[in-house]
Amino acid sequence: MKNQLKTAIYPGSFDPITFGHLDIIKRAAKLFDRFVVAVAHDTKKTTLFHIDERVRLAQLEIQKLHDIKNIEVKPFQGLLVNFVKSEGASVIARGLRGVSDFEYEFQMSYINHKLAPNTTTILFPATANTHYISSSSVKEIARLNGRLDGLVSTEIADELKRRFSEV
């Protein structure tokens, strides 16, 4: 398989994309030929942003990474492993913020492997600077009118402020 591009899929809700996600993206994308940030339509969580907005905001952040050219942002619907196959990928990338993420990620990696034995999940540990960031805490801070410096970009912070001023 020498000439085949190595593609990894980084799936998530990205509601919205944070500096925690971007830290994983920047480090992981370097290891693959193609790196697809896959924004899930179907998520167990109730999302603040519509799928189109989550994709647009992720694209906005990825466009700023001028020195990394192999990242794409795509929405996906249905089973992750079907999307992974349709993209010709064999790797699922996920981030690990701490032990609380571990059990869920470990179980999902088994399930995805069971559903698609040719796929492998690679877990990327968060860095000390970003491990505490989650989309849900960012939304909660925005809802309560707190400062979002160091958690999300100013553009994402503005979108959050706008969203919460509407409700």
Cα 135–chain centre separation: 10
Q: In the bound complex, what is the minimum distance in angstroms from residue 21's beta carbon to ligand ADP?
A: 5
| Cβ-closest position to ligand ADP | 20
Residue 41 has what DSSP assignment? S
| Total number of residues that touch ligand ADP (CB under 6 A) | 19
Residues 6+ apart with CB under 8 A from 142: 148, 157, 160, 161, 163, 164
- Is 134 an active-site residue? no
Residue 51 has what DSSP assignment? H
DSSP-assigned beta bridge partners for residue 123: 94
Whether the Cβ atoms of residue 108 and residue 121 lie closer than 8 Å to each other: yes
- String marking each residue 37-76 x if it binds ligand ADP according to CB under 6 A: ------x-x-------------------------------
Question: Hey, what are 49's tokens?
Answer: 């942003």
16 contacts ligand ADP (rule: CB under 6 A): no
21 contacts ligand ADP (rule: CB under 6 A): yes
Candidates 8, 9, 24, 73; binder of ligand ADP (CB under 6 A) is 24
Shortest CA distance to 16 belongs to which of 165, 162, 166?
A: 162
Closer residue to ligand ADP in complex, CB, 12/81: 12
Candidates 112, 119, 121, 135; binder of ligand ADP (CB under 6 A) is 135
Catalytic (active-site) positions: 21, 45, 97, 135
